[in-house]
Structure 1
Amino acid sequence: MTLPLALVRPVSPRLAEAELSFLDRVAIDPERAAAQHAGYVDLLRRLGHDVIEVAAAPEHPDGTFVEDAAVVVDDLAVCTRPGAASRRGEVDSVRAALEGLGLRTVRMSEPATLDGGDVLQVGPTVFVGLGGRTNAAGVAALEEALAPLGRTVVPVTVTGCLHLKSGATALPDGTVVAVTSWLDTAPFEAAGLQVVEAPEPAGADLLLSGDRVVVSAAAPRTAAMVRTLGFEAHPVEIDELEKAECGVTCLSVLVSPPAG
């Protein structure tokens, strides 16, 4: 099985200044965060992903959360307009990296706002969190961009967490693991997907590596559940990064470059 490339970006020394919506600000050790990020990257490599590093952006506290800058579907990268104005300068370098890999790119424009962390792809359905960082115009812009690729875009109301994928992600078989009090699960159920409760909040954000699952080390009961359901679970320590509302999906953009 050929795994996608993983785009990552180093941790900014200004990580402690990252935008926060649902967590109280606490002290963050940027060196420990950088060491945990390196462990995350090492795990991706051990799982078989080639890793591409996007240009460092020390001036952007949230820059390591590279997922928010682009949504990749097939050979198209939709470069976002993040909901936090302070993050919009992160996008151009991610776009350059994606174009360097041969992807087509389009860029969202005002009044659309959308963070990649609000986008969950399950088969041909693309669920989009509608909440603090992503607005209705962002959902509509993504729908327009992805319609030619045969994707159906479905909004999901998010009230209790930063992004959709902070509160819900899917296992390789399409089972949605969620903190159900944080969002409306009806769109998943209407699409025929089973929804199970995440045993810990950190367990709702899961990264798929083929048919394996990367899970925060802060969610051991979720890892056990994933194994019970028949999938490999690979814990990774990111607790210093989690202080900045990070999950395991936030730290990479998975890309399958066009053939040729």
Structure 2
Amino acid sequence: MSKGIRNIILACSLFSLVGCHSYAPAWQMRQAQLRTYEMYHARQRLSGELAQSQEMASQLALEKQQAEQSLAVANQRLQNLAQERTKLNDQVKHLLTTLPAPNNPLSGSANRRFEDLARRYPEFEFDPATGVSKFNGDLLFATGSDQIQPGGHRILKEFAQIMNSGDAKQFNILVVGHTDDQPVVKSATKARHETNWDLSAHRATAVVKSLSKTGLAEPRMGLAGYSKFQPKLPNTNDGARQQNRRVEIFILAPDAAIAGRDASTPR
């Protein structure tokens, strides 16, 4: 057999051994490996995210349980506070019904006469709970003055008449003058009242003198001046300042000391 024929036979034998089987190219192998690598890492990532989600779900469930417990505690506290408030309200109602009335020593008759006086003089106030009378400063005095105006003398006369009648004649009074926060600046006013201290005290003195002239005994009276330091309202506008310029008269029990003096002790 010739050498050429042998080569042909050998080639055919090799072809028959290989048959129809083919090998994938290297680039396809690399792509397959890359996809496998990516799928592996994607699976790992998803597994991690799933674990995190499960952990978060457990944490949220725990927080929900804690929140529910806190809410239950808060609701119980609110319920306890509501019960305490109810008890306090009951105690207040009990005190209001059992404690004596506010310290107004005047009788009903005297109270009614003072209330009638307040209705007829809008700038005069009377508190039936305490027996305190308040005279608007403009009712009694002109601005910066301690001279009582005619209308002021009329109401003070009626006030003295009430205090000298019935059981009211056994009581004492304390006259207290107040000013607003405006300083004394006019030279004519400053010559008589150097400061608001002077003006408040001088106005209280003028009221005491007027009451004395209308028959109220001087031993039953005392006076004080508080300048601008006890305003009825904040001194933010003219209306408030007008109300702060006032004279107050406090009704005192017969045995109440005036300015620290025991009423039963002779002078």
Instruction: Give your verdict on TM over 0.5.
Output: no
* TM range, smaller chain: under 0.3
Q: Which has the higher contact order (CA 8 A, sep 6+)?
A: 1
TM-score computed with the length of structure 1 as normaliser: 0.27
Structure label with greater radius of gyration: 2
Higher strand share: 1
Higher helix share: 2
TM-score computed with the length of structure 2 as normaliser: 0.26
